[in-house]
Chains A and B, each alone.
Chain A
Amino acid sequence: MTELISRIVGGLNTPVFLTRFLVTVLIMLVSGAIVLGISLLYEGLATYAERKVAGDIQARIGPNRVGPYGLLQFVADGVKLLLKEDIIPFYADKWLFILAPYIVFTVSFAAFVPLSYSDHIAVANLNVGVLYIIAISSVVSMAILMGAWGSNNKWSLFGGMRAVAQIVSYEIPIVLSLLAAIILPASMNMRDIIVYQGGGLGIFRWLVFNNPFTFLAFFVYFIAAIAEVNRTPFDIPEAESEIVAGYHTEYTGMRFAFFFMAEYGDMFVVSAIATTLFLGGWHLPFIGGISMPLWLRDVLQVAVFFMKVFVLIYLMMWIRWTLPRLRVDQLMELCWKYLTPIAFFNLIGASVWVLLLHGRGIYDIIARIIVH
């Protein structure tokens, strides 16, 4: 794609510095548009999937009227939200109120950037990918508080405060359990981390199977990640039965839709991080060694990556429609008394493991014993 754009711009006979500038801007725009299009489509289908999964679990049918199997339901919902009246409360802080949904959505969209979708497909190959995602997803808490404060509504403010407390608390187990995984490949680049997990039939060298500590870290990360994206059973920032709708009580129409889409975008991102760091990313299981054309390999890798992500998203939906909501003090207790100590224990354990065994995983040790 870079070559194509350089060739198009190169034909324009512009000065060198301008050509470079144009190429950079065009690459940014095109890749941004691609990711935005795919993520919007995904978010639409994810709302449909969520309602279908909810229906299945509650022995209902779910949406089935609009289009075949109700697949176009999200289009109808989107049109409805676009046509709704856009209400800004009279006493709201208009700047904060208007700005907040855009920041929430932009941030969740920006987190798609450093992900590595296949061996050759990535929006940006950042060398600090993991750090970038952790940093950018924390901005969500600020935007949520902005919207909550700007609404000038007590329920919104309570929701915003709860959201910030929850996100800030759960960042700690998330970062610690990610660290336990990162010390093995010794890189924060998403692609490097995935490449490190190659071999072993494409399954047994996943970091989640590397040693007992990373195995535990995966579950700590996943539980904390559900809390990070404010989903049931950790949805106290928008608990309907307690504080109406939490921080988006006052939002209507498309502004509400931005919050809604950001939630599903965040779900994808945390699942993609779990896939990348623990579940071997885009490595093809069993058929990785077979020689095949490059494009086919890329397509299969993207398919495998998305499949792993969708399994995790299904798991999140399954948890959402099973478990009741936690109380605020229970939520904090789970984070500070259970997840954080376990994550620390994992980090130390994984570090000792790496020091003593020089980064060899359980699979490597077993393979060596069998070979000798």
Chain B
Amino acid sequence: MAGYFKKMFTALNSVLTGMGITIKYGVNPKAEVTQQYPEVKREPPDRFRGKLFVNINICTGCTACARICPVDVITLKTVRDENKKLRPVIFDINNARCIYCGLCVEACPVDNCLYFEKKYEFSAYTKEDLISHFGLGEAQSPGKKAEEKTADVTKEQKEAAQ
């Protein structure tokens, strides 16, 4: 008989404890932790791996990134300019295939050349739109041969220097 009443008391006690905890959240509108995503955007953490970005002007064209990539994301073609320096004329990153492993970033010997941006909203309608073109030659002269592109680039750089 004592067990019977004790059981009732335990049940009542645990139910009321639980309800006490939930009502704290139930009556407090500031307890909400949901962020309304499209309106409120969260600041990504420091080492967030978003879209890959290449600072193409300081790229040495060593192709270390393209060689280490396990999924062949990076298409890299280089030519030598008149100072015998390697210049990347084509530097395509296929974001559709990237697995964000970060090996290319680690392999890059130049500081702040290849790194992850904090951008994560870059969905596109076609697979082709997901390829980002960083190559020096692409912007000015699409479709030209590599040598011609290099000539264009070096010409442009000279003009910029003057």
Contacts and interface: CB of A to CB of B under 8 A. Distances in A.
Contact of A58 (B8, B18, B25): B25
Contacts of B18: 322-323
A59 B19 contact: no
A59 B15 contact: no
B25 A59 contact: yes
A195 B71 CA distance: 81
Contact of B32 (A60, A318, A323): A60
Contacts of B33: 59-60
A76 to B, nearest CB: 18
Contacts of A321: 22
A56 B19 contact: no
A57 interface: yes
B162 interface: no
A58 B31 CA distance: 9
- Judged by DSSP, the binding face of B is helix
A322 B29 CA distance: 17
B6 to A, nearest CB: 13
A319 B36 CA distance: 28
Interface residues of B, number: 16
Nearest to A55: B32
B128 to A, nearest CB: 34
A57 B32 contact: no
Nearest to B21: A322
Interface string B2-21: 00000010000001001101
Contact of B19 (A58, A61, A318): A318
A53 interface: yes
B69 to A, nearest CB: 41
Contacts of B26: 53, 56-57, 318
Contacts of A323: 15, 18-19
B31 A322 contact: no
A337 to B, nearest CB: 8
Contacts of A286: none
A92 B31 CA distance: 47
B144 to A, nearest CB: 50
Given A56-B29, A338-B8, A322 B22 contact: yes
B160 interface: no
11 contacts: A56-B26, A56-B27, A57-B23, A59-B34, A61-B32, A318-B19, A321-B22, A322-B15, A322-B19, A322-B21, A323-B15
Interface of B: 8, 15, 18-19, 21-23, 25-27, 29, 31-34, 36
Given A56-B26, A56-B31, A59-B32, 8 more contacts: A55-B32, A56-B25, A56-B27, A57-B23, A57-B26, A61-B34, A322-B15, A322-B22
Interface of A: 53, 55-61, 318-319, 321-323, 338
9 nearest A-B pairs in the assembled complex, by CB-CB distance = A322-B22, A57-B26, A57-B22, A61-B34, A56-B26, A59-B31, A322-B18, A322-B19, A60-B34
